[in-house]
Structure 1
């Protein structure tokens, strides 16, 4: 067994075709095929099912593929340790939900840049589906999304996932709203007022479930712009959902907006802050450092008193 064979396994799985993998690796078709056959013989298990339609991992092959990624990640770490600082990855591309950028991520970026002032960081805010697609296609190194259990099930086949935090869903209302004095708000309470809804799949599903269980609601509009949502709520034009991460927002600390725990006795939604990375690329030391920095910053952010 050698590193080259593991690289071939990863590339064939990624391309779904030995010919395309050979072209990408700049080696012969027979060289790739023979290397994989030798590895299968050594391990005593079939790694791929070969057919006219392409090459697909067997159940045992999926385990070989996962271990190959883990081994190659370690190999990449060793190679990076041996490089001069100027030769190590000098840039990071990040995409995240607006929720991250309006709470703790800017602080994480600031902390990381102080330690790595020469690193070029490219960031953008986007909707969850676009973030997942960009990370999956290796257009972005790291993605930060808000997702549900359903989201995790959908994406674990093609991206690595790391749950950063299980959020608490909060009903967000103006200080002038009658709901501001309540200890807990239910769906029936919310449906008495105009609603502003985040324009993303998970949020839409939550509201569709509420409407199915409790009846229709009066939707003022859909948006992904948090500042618009907060201003509409602060002016008592509508109510909506945010998370407990909003507790340090100036509109909340000044008392213009109130956060109230949400409770649905029929179907309580569960959401997570999730870090995602592509499975078809290696995770650099720099990426691991940034994720660690983000996780530490989040922990400090949550621990802060308002």
Structure 2
């Protein structure tokens, strides 16, 4: 067993897909498949069961994969600490984020504060376009945003993608719609919506309205908790990034179902960190690396 094999197993278990894991690891699907097959032969048992629905851990492989995940996390922590050991982390880091990432940010901040007492943090919760504006005007250092394909290249800014997804309809599991995989436009128009004030959510609703007619809006808010409450109580459905859904805590995520809308085509959305090219500090890269590390081993990907 080698470190690469360990990494491949962890990533496939995280996303339940050989193709997606290969893309995230920037290698070929064949290389991932061959490495895992070789490891399975070495161990004398099957770690994954492959099907048209995805690649999932076998019953006998689950406990080993859990230990491999813990080992991979430790190896990555050693690498990150070694890379930044000689750098002095201090001063203030101003972060702006979409609502779904607040819990992950708090976790990373807690870890970094214990390791680097001189590093202070300020966090604000905003929509993606407002975050980009804050970065441009030096009101924030790093921002976690969602950008459609057409907006990936921002002049004077650097964007580091973490995940690629799309906007979907989120319905409470108590809803009769929860058993569905998709909704017709007419079914969508028959629902009440609780919407977070995000530019891309607004654009989604406007484009849907242009194609199929208006939806019924119960309320719009910049309070993510209010939207979650409306969903949990079965008062409304909402529009959200699938990334946001994966970022939710276990119990809340388990009570929601994400659905596509039939016949509605949209741009893919890329989620990640953005910063000004002219104001980059060593702490930026370190923070982003730690964030990716925690997300991969303990965040939205572990479903």
How far is the alpha carbon of 1:211 from its aligned partner?
Answer: 0.8
In the superposition, the TM-score normalised over structure 2's length comes to 0.64
Give yes or no for contact 1:182–1:260 (8 Å, CA) kept in 2: no
Distance (Å, rounded) in 2 between the aligned partners of 1:167 and 1:299: 16
Superimposed CA distance per residue, residues 55-112 of structure 1 (whole angstroms, 9 cap, x where no aligned partner): xxxxxxxxxxxxxxxxxxxxxxxxxx9x994xx64221111122221x4222222232
Is 1:112 the counterpart of 2:126? The answer is no
How far is the alpha carbon of 1:166 from its aligned partner?
Answer: 0.9
Give yes or no for contact 2:192–2:215 (8 Å, CA) kept in 1: yes
Partner of 2:132: 132
Partner of 2:301: 303
Contiguous gaps of at least 5 residues in structure 1: 1-80
In the superposition, the TM-score normalised over structure 1's length comes to 0.64
How far is the alpha carbon of 1:288 from its aligned partner?
Answer: 1.0
Q: What is the 5 A alignment of 1:192-271?
A: 192-242=190-240, 243-247=242-246, 248-253=248-253, 255=254, 257-271=255-269
The aligned length equals 216
Q: 1:200 to 1:260 in 2, by over 3 A?
A: closer
Query: Residue 285 of structure 2 is aligned with which of 276, 283, 288?
Result: 288
Looking at CA atoms only, which structure, 1 or 2, has the larger radius of gyration? 1
- Classify the secondary structure of the residue corresponding to 2:183: coil
Give runs of ≥4 in structure 1 deviating > 4 Å.
none
Distance (Å, rounded) in 2 between the aligned partners of 1:245 and 1:222: 17
Q: What is the 5 A alignment of 1:266-281?
A: 266-281=264-279
Partner of 2:173: 175
Partner of 1:100: 101
Give yes or no for contact 2:90–2:120 (8 Å, CA) kept in 1: no
How far is the alpha carbon of 1:260 from its aligned partner?
Answer: 2.4
Select between 224-233 and 118-127 the one with higher mean Cα deviation: 118-127
How far is the alpha carbon of 1:270 from its aligned partner?
Answer: 2.0
Contiguous gaps of at least 5 residues in structure 2: 1-83
Give yes or no for contact 2:169–2:259 (8 Å, CA) kept in 1: yes
Q: 1:225 to 1:289 in 2, by over 3 A?
A: same
Q: 1:141 to 1:193 in 2, by over 3 A?
A: same
Q: What is the 5 A alignment of 1:6-155?
A: 85=88, 89-101=90-102, 103-153=103-153
Distance (Å, rounded) in 2 between the aligned partners of 1:303 and 1:197: 24
How far is the alpha carbon of 1:251 from its aligned partner?
Answer: 4.6
- Classify the secondary structure of the residue corresponding to 1:280: helix
- Classify the secondary structure of the residue corresponding to 2:152: helix
RMSD: 2.4
Query: Residue 164 of structure 1 is aligned with which of 162, 165, 169?
Result: 162
Distance (Å, rounded) in 2 between the aligned partners of 1:169 and 1:133: 22
Distance (Å, rounded) in 1 between the aligned partners of 2:281 and 2:167: 34
Give yes or no for contact 2:208–2:264 (8 Å, CA) kept in 1: no
